[in-house]
Amino acid sequence: MQQYFQPEIETASRDEIVRIQNVKIVKQVRHVYDNVAYYRKLMDDKGITPEDIKSIDDIQKLPFLKKDDLRECYPYGLLATDLSNCVRIHSTSGTTGKRVVAFYTQHDIDLWEECCARAIVAAGGSKEDVVQVCYGYGLFTGGSGLHGGSHKVGCLTLPMSSGNTDRQIQFMMDLNSTILCCTPSYAAFIAESLKERGYGPGDNKLKAGIFGAEPWTEEMRTQIQDGLGIKAYDIYGLTETSGPGVAFECSEQTGMHINEDHFYAEIIDPETGEVLPEGEKGELVFTALDKEAFPLLRYRTRDICILTRGKCSCGRTHVKMCKPMGRSDDMLIIRGVNVFPSQIETVLLNEGYTPNYMIYVDRKNNTDTLDIDVELSPDQFSDNIADMQDMEKKLAASMRTMLGIGPKIHLVPPKTIQRSEGKAVRVIDNRKLH
Ligand code: DLL
């Protein structure tokens, strides 16, 4: 079986990777300086010229780019090549402000799809596989990225896009899909829908899933793996850096290898901007080493993460990032306590509840409130009010132990919380309205 898509680069020695990065960063900084007036000014303001960047170690001299810079530059301000050389755009959903529009040359598309092909092969994919892509197609990068990667590997590609779960299941069964690509929340929904139709985990031909685009816990991984009878692989990326495939998981399932020949990763202290040593938790920063059209240098992702360089049993040598622990701006500060939604998911799944929940934060009488609606499975649901209240109290106590603050739990009947077909929205913070 094919083990790597590009063995010479995926298993390259550290010296070789650094050599590639050294060559690429010098060229890339020159390219950006010459073609992007906005970034040239940031460098000039810092007193840095392209000649100051002689190797990858000099990257720390460069200024950061932030989401606000991208908004300010909308739409063409960070474009580093003639528009006539571009063949595609993708865009973020724009829920938190103006959309980010990312541009691609054919070279950029090729390198992006190669990254996704590496992810598919790492999940056991080969030309014998049937890859069902149910990430959204369109401006979102999920569908196109995995679709292109699947073509590069030579898999039979089912371009389903998200939604229409009946049709997803029909094609999965009739066309013998072996690899499923979608958000983890949609994978959980597909597993639930299969069960409702009387299919057990052994009834499908799936062997692997490539799930990402949103935070998901190890508990969620177990639930999906058991529900679908597959191995579930994480995949990470963001529109600003091209899309999915910046990093992907291998059979070891202990973090995602970053494609270091294309993306240089740093972890910084989000407050001070100081670069942190390996193993420390901080904000993930990426530099695109060889993208042409939209080559962001030192882009602050706001994702909180840890990088590790231990030896991996899969033979890949590229640095690993842990599951992002939520975005720094996803973190809720409730009565002064930092709460990540993933902590709530961990408690729920450990206590045997479904992954269907909604978190509501509000402020009443100058005090923050935290309410969590938790959907019961049909066998948990009972019309005995005392039993339900008892369960609510127990769950609230477990939450208090994990979070440090006690939420109000509302157990709700089966099928009452909206399922997600793409990125799940699980937090509603009404404090922002006041
Ligand atoms: O979500 C790209 C993607 C598509 C990745 C399909 C994986 C699979 P954006 O819509 O720009 O791009 O959102 C990027 O999503 O900064 C993270 O906060 C989050 N994210 C992406 N992958 C993961 C993951 C796509 N595996 C933002 N785990 C990123 C946790 C993730 N969060």
- The Cα–Cα gap between 143 and 151 comes to 12
Q: Which atom of ligand 1 is nearest to the CA of 302?
A: 16
Residues in the chain: 434
Q: Which of 146, 159, 150, 155 is nearest to 127 (CA)?
A: 155
Per-residue model confidence (pLDDT) at position 232: 98
Per-residue model confidence (pLDDT) at position 309: 94
The DSSP H or E segment spanning 202 is none
Pick from 144, 253, 303, 340 the residue to mutate for probing ligand 1's pocket: most ligand atoms within 8 Å of its CB.
Answer: 303
Task: Express each pLDDT in 275-307 by its tens digit.
Answer: 999 999 999 999 999 999 999 999 999 999 999
CA of residue 397 to ligand 1 center, whole Å: 32
Mean pLDDT of 216-237: 97
Given pLDDT bands bounded at 50, 70 and 90, which one contains residue 94? low
Given pLDDT bands bounded at 50, 70 and 90, which one contains residue 97? low
Q: How far is C-alpha 60 from the chain's CA centre?
A: 25
CA of residue 224 to ligand 1 center, whole Å: 18
Report percent pLDDT > 70 for the chain: 98
Q: Which atom of ligand 1 is nearest to the CA of 93?
A: 10
Task: Express each pLDDT in 407-419 by its tens digit.
Answer: 999 999 999 999 9
Is the shortest distance between the CB of 239 and ligand 1 below 6 Å?
yes
Question: Per-domain residue ranges for the chain?
Answer: 1-327, 332-429
| Contact (CB, 8 A) for 250 and 121 | no
Per-residue model confidence (pLDDT) at position 95: 60
Architecture of domain 1-327: 3-Layer(aba) Sandwich (3.40)
* CATH number corresponding to 332-429: 3.30.300.30
Is the shortest distance between the CB of 5 and ligand 1 below 6 Å?
no
Task: Express each pLDDT in 2-47 by its tens digit.
Answer: 899 999 999 999 999 999 999 999 999 999 999 999 999 999 999 9
Q: Which atom of ligand 1 is nearest to the CA of 215?
A: 30
Per-residue model confidence (pLDDT) at position 328: 66
Within this chain, domains 1-327 and 332-429 share the same CATH topology? no
Is the shortest distance between the CB of 184 and ligand 1 below 6 Å?
no
Q: Measuring from atom 16 of ligand 1, which residue has the nearest CA?
A: 238
CA of residue 306 to ligand 1 center, whole Å: 16
CA of residue 236 to ligand 1 center, whole Å: 5
CA of residue 212 to ligand 1 center, whole Å: 6
The residue behind tokens 């993708």 is 90
CA of residue 423 to ligand 1 center, whole Å: 9
How far, CA to CA in Å, does 271 sit from each of 173, 268, 275, 276? 50, 9, 11, 12
Q: What is the pTM of this model?
A: 0.95
pLDDT at 54 over 70: yes
Pick from 92, 214, 284, 322 the residue to mutate for probing ligand 1's pocket: most ligand atoms within 8 Å of its CB.
Answer: 214
Q: Which atom of ligand 1 is nearest to the CA of 247?
A: 26
Residue type, 108: D
Q: Which atom of ligand 1 is nearest to the CA of 303?
A: 18
Cβ contacts of 164 within 8 Å, gap of 6 or more: none
Per-residue model confidence (pLDDT) at position 325: 82
Per-residue model confidence (pLDDT) at position 98: 72
CA of residue 201 to ligand 1 center, whole Å: 27
CA of residue 414 to ligand 1 center, whole Å: 29
pLDDT at 434 over 60: no
